Structure 1
């Protein structure tokens, strides 16, 4: 009886594994030694049926390589750009114009993330970034654009 149950449930297990693997995400950083090229890395991501990837910056080569895939992409605004974006809507708009719009919608950019590990509080610069985080998130959001009426 047990072998029969296994063979009846095995096809269902295979379907659920395929569905789960397409929902798995990875963080794709580029700091390290002996890293594979972006082309090789994206090929590996595709071969593993990874469905989501977080980039720690808006690397143009990687964004181009992810174009036309069904991989959902999150792009991070680097820490060194947070203060400028937090204080200036034009800088936020320019960042989106330069780092998102050239690739979207061919690259499935789904999220803009702001900063990496900035909630430490060890220096004055850390405290400044901490205070600039929410304003930068607000200004880099497409929802922050003022609505204009067409009357």
Structure 2
């Protein structure tokens, strides 16, 4: 079962669109996604969030900033697509294919295909003026996941 979906609206640069253009673009959007923040201390349990999003909203995608087993289990069988993020602190350890494959086996495979994980994002807000070793590790960590994805059996 493929994990990658290309249902994103296209983005163009140029002059600001007029309000009718914005309305037309909004009418053509086929999905809505949100960042699922987990840093607050007054959050409902993941199962409650998943149930609410599934039954009371049109949101069909979320992005989480780490790999939370509780969240991934809660969204199983909801049909909501999830983009998971490799935390910045784990990037340098994923620069070779065997280690990256082990990370996927431990963090993604236990939940797939019941949980619809459509993207694995590597890092969060890594800026060009940040630590050089993190920038270099980012590029190296993305290569094994791209080169070895066929070995993981889901794309």
Which bracket does the TM-score occupy, shorter chain normalised? 0.7 to 0.9
The CA deviation string for residues 77-128 of structure 1, in whole angstroms up to 9 with x for no partner, is: 1101101102x32211111001111111111111110001111524xxx221
Larger Rg: 1
Which structure's relative contact order is higher, taking Cα pairs within 8 Å and 6+ residues apart?
2
Structure 2 CA distance for aligned equivalents of residues 146 and 105 of structure 1: 16
Q: Which residue of 2 aligns with 1:69?
A: 78
Q: Which residue of 1 aligns with 2:139?
A: 134
Q: Are 2:148 and 1:144 aligned?
A: yes
The CA deviation string for residues 37-77 of structure 1, in whole angstroms up to 9 with x for no partner, is: 21222222222121111111111111111111111111101
Q: Which residue of 2 aligns with 1:36?
A: 44
What do you get for the CA RMSD once the two structures are aligned? 2.2
The answer to whether the Cα contact below 8 Å between 1:92 and 1:140 also exists between their aligned partners in 2 is yes
Structure 1 CA distance for aligned equivalents of residues 107 and 124 of structure 2: 17
State the TM-score, normalized to the length of structure 2.
0.71
The answer to whether the Cα contact below 8 Å between 2:82 and 2:119 also exists between their aligned partners in 1 is yes
Q: Which residue of 2 aligns with 1:10?
A: none
Structure 2 CA distance for aligned equivalents of residues 71 and 38 of structure 1: 13
SS in 1 for 2:121: strand
Give the gaps of 5 or more residues in structure 2.
1-25
**How many positions carry a matched residue from both structures?**
125
Give the gaps of 5 or more residues in structure 1.
1-15
Q: Which runs of 4+ in 1 moved over 3 A?
A: none
